[in-house]
Amino acid sequence: MDDTMSSYSFSHQFYQRWTCAPDPIRTSIIQELTDITTLLKAETPFETFVFSTHDLDAHLDDLYENHEAEQAIAKAITDKQAAEQVIAEQQRLEEEQKTQAAEDTKRKEEAKLREAAFKEENELKEAAKKHEADKNAQTETEKNILLAAIKPETVVTDKINTDNSVHAIINDDFDTEKNAVGSKTISEHANAIDDESINNNKTIKNDSSINAINNKASAAISLAVKDAKLSVTHKELIHELEVQIDDYLSDQMMLMSENLKSWLRAEMTQHLSEQDKPASNGNLPKN
């Protein structure tokens, strides 16, 4: 019997099915084969021998049912775990989406706040620039109004009076010298020129128009309002206007002085040249 069993060769399908069979079923089959082997031995009494499993087929059916039930339970547990895992994964994804959406919303709100703050800052800057421009325009308008109200009539009138006085003085001296130049010698002519310069200086100093100019220049008009409460801006405006008036009058007086000097040099040069001509003609040798 042992030789027969050892020489038996199992097929490939049997081996595959045998390895796939559950452990309890394989254990029961092995026990059944062991009982058969024991029964076939000569020393085993046939009448008293009892198999370990009374009904192998029924026992295998029970084992298969139990195995299938266990497999069903295991599958149910696995399916439940898989479903729970899917639900957990969905919840995780939903939480991530909610978190991402919340972060996106927060970033958008922060961007809106930054944009609003930047816009407000720009509006404040523009308002400040506009206010400064309006203030400068108002200050410039006030300057122009005050400058327009100041008319340099006194300077122009004094210049005209001075021109007329000097012109009259020089013309009078020119006529006097012209009448007396024929009877003077060269020495007398030189002395006459010196006397003329002295007389011109005295005449100019004693002239009423020149005295009027000096009196007007020395008489300062005081129109300041007592106890006037002015802001710093207005004080600066008044000071700037005063400086502009000083600059304007300085330029005008300098220009008038240069014009008078140029005119005086031209008139005196012409006058003295005409005086020298008759004197030179009178000293020519007679034939």
Domain check: are 90 and 159 in the same one? no
The pLDDT, as a whole number, for residue 20 is 84
- Number of domains making up the chain: 2
Give the per-residue SS3 of the chain.
Answer: CHHHHHCCCCCHHHHHHHHHCCHHHHHHHHHHHHHHHHHHCCCCCCCCCCCCCCCHHHHHHHHHHHHHHHHHHHHHHHHHHHHHHHHHHHHHHHHHHHHHHHHHHHHHHHHHHHHHHHHHHHHHHHHHHHHHHHHHHHHHHHHHHHHHHCCCHHHHHHHHHHHHHHHHHHHHHHHHHHHHHHHCCHHHHHHHHHHHHHHHHHHHHHCHHHHHHHHHHHCCCCCCCCCCCCCHHHHHHHHHHHHHHHHHHHHHHHHHHHHHHHHHHHHHHHHHHHHHHHHHHHCCCCC
Query: How high does pLDDT run on average in the chain?
Result: 75
- Mean pLDDT for 276-280 is 65
For residues 252 and 7, which has the higher predicted lDDT (pLDDT)? Answer: 252
Q: What is the CA radius of gyration of the chain?
A: 68
Note whether residue 88 is domain-resident.
yes
Domain check: are 95 and 167 in the same one? no
Burial 28-53, CB ≥16 within 10 A → b, else e: bbeebeebeeeeeeeeeeeeeeeeee
- 44-78 pLDDT, tens digit per residue, is 888 888 888 888 889 889 988 998 999 899 999 99
Full residue range of the structural domain in which residue 189 is found: 153-218+228-282
Note whether residue 184 is domain-resident.
yes
Would you place residue 114 in the very low, low, confident or very high pLDDT band (cuts 50, 70, 90)? Answer: very high
Nearest-angstrom CA–CA distance, 35 and 273:
172
Domain check: are 172 and 60 in the same one? no
Rounded to two decimals, the pTM is 0.33
Q: Which of these, 173, 198, 187, 199, lies nearest to 279 by C-alpha position?
A: 187
Domain check: are 170 and 256 in the same one? yes
Domain check: are 49 and 163 in the same one? no
Note whether residue 134 is domain-resident.
no
Note whether residue 113 is domain-resident.
no
Which range, of 60-74, 84-98, 216-230, 271-285, averages the lowest pLDDT? 216-230
The pLDDT, as a whole number, for residue 225 is 52
Which range, of 26-35, 137-146, 243-252, 262-271, averages the lowest pLDDT? 137-146
Domain check: are 44 and 164 in the same one? no
Would you place residue 15 in the very low, low, confident or very high pLDDT band (cuts 50, 70, 90)? Answer: confident
Note whether residue 127 is domain-resident.
no
Domain check: are 167 and 255 in the same one? yes
Which range, of 58-62, 64-68, 105-109, 140-144, averages the lowest pLDDT? 140-144
The pLDDT, as a whole number, for residue 8 is 52
For residues 117 and 183, which has the higher predicted lDDT (pLDDT)? Answer: 117
For residue 265, pLDDT over 80 is answered with yes
Note whether residue 278 is domain-resident.
yes
Domain check: are 196 and 278 in the same one? yes
Domain check: are 168 and 86 in the same one? no
Domain check: are 278 and 159 in the same one? yes
Q: Look-up: residue for tokens 């600066």?
A: 236
Domain check: are 162 and 272 in the same one? yes
* Boundary (domain end) residue, out of 85, 103, 121: 103
Note whether residue 3 is domain-resident.
no
